A and B are shown apart, each in its own frame.
Chain A
């Protein structure tokens, strides 16, 4: 798995993002402004899933993977705070972490493959339709995605996992287990009647 080792800035956040996923961040801490400037002139940065609950429940001692993101858009919010849209291009494994003098973390990482990057055409499936409705009813979410792969089941599943109200500890499992069928069965049982 460890073909390439890259060093990237790390942003610890309680955000679950799979490849293809987009989210908006507001950045104002000096160390993360620095991170954005490094990232936009370089190779992006890593969102490292971090949440008090995950630790407390001892589901995992430490999460060793992160979402490698590119900055795809930026803007200034009405209050002058920098807003960046980031898109996850791959999941990575964090091999080691260091901190610089500004308390910004850097990690040596290597790419890991995840089912959400695969492509399975399944036009018109119920899960896609349901997700399409979520998009159409939520402008802020909809605006993040210029291109939606609603016909691609892994893409649809990944977006569902991102937005479902679940503990991050649970979501973490869908990366650690890396099992497409399990994820599909899970999402379907939430969206459709699980007694069926």
Chain B
């Protein structure tokens, strides 16, 4: 593996952060909830997030009541855990996403495995490790063993290149671009590859 690997040194924010979300505003509301138990600010947060959470939950839970429960539990966790949000460590959207994903995970585990062990907060801590700052990929590689490190990079890290530097889209990015669920994009790629093989086969006959 060669030098180009370092070209991933771009911040994901430059790819993903858009103007479509008013991040400072969300942050401010979340902090008001944390510091002054501001019900008005919470109402704003609720109006912003709840419909979106509901839509996402509907895709994961066929049962309407369960989807509603995801909204209720996520938003009530936002109310009770807002003080754990640290705006220096990441965006409000990232924090709420974590809360929602954890609620969803625990609920699915409860439904599927009948386990009420609520493991999600151990797996994805809501209070820390939200940072995308700190030690960057670049820094990690910048030491005196640089060359040997790069030579030894496994495929898994080569794959990172696809995600963060626009040499190639990730499947996730393609899904976002096409406004399609990831699963649909994956099956399209599979289908297209299948067709390609058929065409090749025919040609060789």
Q: In the complex they form, do A and B come into direct contact, defined as C-beta atoms under 8 angstroms apart?
A: yes
- Residue B199 at the A interface, CB < 8 A? yes
What is the number of contacts between chain A and chain B, taking CB atoms within 8 Å?
103
Contact partners of B3 in chain A: CB under 8 A? 25-29, 32
Main secondary structure of the interface of A (DSSP, over half): mixed
Main secondary structure of the interface of B (DSSP, over half): helix
Contact partners of B15 in chain A: CB under 8 A? 138, 140
Contact partners of B147 in chain A: CB under 8 A? 29
Which residue of A is nearest B173, CB measured?
Answer: A165
- Residue A133 at the B interface, CB < 8 A? yes
Stretch of A38-46, A62-70, A187-195 contacting B (4+ beta carbons < 8 Å): A187-195
Stretch of B104-112, B127-135, B186-194 contacting A (4+ beta carbons < 8 Å): B186-194
- Residue B2 at the A interface, CB < 8 A? yes
Tell which of A15, A26, A134, A140 touches B6, judged by Cβ atoms closer than 8 Å. Answer: A26
Min CB–CB distance B188 → chain A (angstroms): 5
CB-CB contacts below 8 Å: A125-182 with B? 130, 133-134, 137-141, 162-166, 170, 173, 177, 182
A190 & B188 in contact (Cβ 8 Å cutoff)? yes
Contact partners of A177 in chain B: CB under 8 A? 200
Which residue of B is nearest A25, CB measured?
Answer: B4
Min CB–CB distance B118 → chain A (angstroms): 35
Min CB–CB distance A194 → chain B (angstroms): 5
- B-side interface residues, number (CB < 8 Å): 38
B2 & A189 in contact (Cβ 8 Å cutoff)? no
B2 & A13 in contact (Cβ 8 Å cutoff)? yes
Q: How large is the interface on A (under 10, 10 to 19, 20 to 34, 35 or more residues)?
A: 35 or more
- Residue A110 at the B interface, CB < 8 A? no
- Residue A113 at the B interface, CB < 8 A? no
Which residue of B is nearest A83, CB measured?
Answer: B7
CB-CB contacts below 8 Å: B1-25 with A? 1-7, 9-10, 14-15
B189 & A182 in contact (Cβ 8 Å cutoff)? no
Give bound CA distance, A87 to B191, whole Å: 32
CB-CB contacts below 8 Å: A74-109 with B? 77, 79, 81, 83
Contact partners of A2 in chain B: CB under 8 A? none
Give bound CA distance, A14 to B14, whole Å: 24
Contact partners of B174 in chain A: CB under 8 A? 164-165, 190
Residue ranges of B at the interface with A (Cβ–Cβ < 8 Å): 1-7, 9-10, 14-15, 138, 142, 146-147, 155, 158, 162, 165-171, 173-174, 177-178, 188-189, 191-193, 195-196, 199-200
In the complex, 15 of the A-B residue pairs with CB atoms within 8 angstroms, ordered by the A residue number, are A13-B2, A25-B7, A26-B5, A29-B147, A79-B9, A79-B142, A163-B168, A165-B169, A165-B174, A166-B189, A166-B193, A185-B195, A186-B192, A189-B188, A194-B195
Residue ranges of A at the interface with B (Cβ–Cβ < 8 Å): 11-16, 23-29, 32, 51-53, 77, 79, 81, 83, 130, 133-134, 137-141, 162-166, 170, 173, 177, 182, 185-186, 189-191, 193-195
